[in-house]
Amino acid sequence: MDVLWWMWLVLGVVLALMEIFTTTFFLLWFGIGAVLVGVVTALWPALPVPGQLALWALSSSLLAVLWFRVLKRRLPDKRWTSDEVIGEVGLLTVAVAPFQKGRVRFQKPILGNEEWVCTADSDIAAGERIRILSVEGNTVRVAKV
């Protein structure tokens, strides 16, 4: 049985769609390699099946190595540290008092969470805007803006 060009395209699309469920950026490169082989096979139908498999293995491996060893390292690290979130402003969703914890919601996720448990040195009513003073474990210390 000959492997036709459209079979490579279908394989590439299936592998790329499988990447949606794994989110490892591993299957994507094999899918792109299969699409590349499909395009080459459509342009050059005389390419034998072992040549197609070799091209797929080579292109997929090169793309994966290029991503993991070169391109991924050049991307900036977008994670925040606790020092960088000091001063961020949020909205108090549950009132806070000196001996009662409250909850605060931020417009964008702070260290991976949009909503945090908070403490304060004074009474602050729900609905008030607050500012982060410090991060203490899984809790943020806040003050009224």
Q: Can you spell out the DSSP letters for 92-119?
A: EEE-BBTTB-EEEEEEEEETTEEEEEEE
The four Cα atoms 96, 102, 105, 109 give a dihedral, to 10 degrees, of 130
Kindly state the tokens that stand for 56.
Answer: 């797929």
- Residues 56, 12: contact at Cβ < 8 Å? no
Q: Model pTM?
A: 0.52
For the chain, the C-alpha Rg in angstroms (whole number) is 26
Residues 137 and 96 in one domain: yes
CA distance linking residue 24 with residue 68, whole number of Å: 11
> Residues 11, 59: one domain?
yes
Q: Which of 5-9, 25-29, 76-80, 139-143 has the lowest mean pLDDT?
A: 76-80
Q: How many Å apart are CA 123 and CA 34, to the nearest integer?
A: 61
The domain total for the chain is: 2
Give the 3-state secondary structure percentages of the chain, helix then strand then coil, rounded to 5: 45, 30, 30
pLDDT of residue 20: 87
Query: Any idea what the CATH number is for the domain that residue 101 is in?
Result: 2.40.50.140
Per-residue pLDDT reduced to its tens digit, 83-136: 788 899 999 999 999 999 999 999 888 877 889 999 999 999 999 999 999 988
**Section 37-52 average pLDDT:** 93
* Shared-domain flag, residues 40 and 66: yes
| 134 and 97 in a common domain | yes
Asked if pLDDT for residue 68 goes beyond 90, the answer is: no
Q: Which domain holds residue 117?
A: 82-144
Q: How many residues does the chain have?
A: 145
From 20, 46, 74, the end of a domain falls on 74
pLDDT band at 79 (very low <50, low <70, confident <90, very high): low
Q: Which helix (H) or strand (E) holds 134?
A: strand 129-136
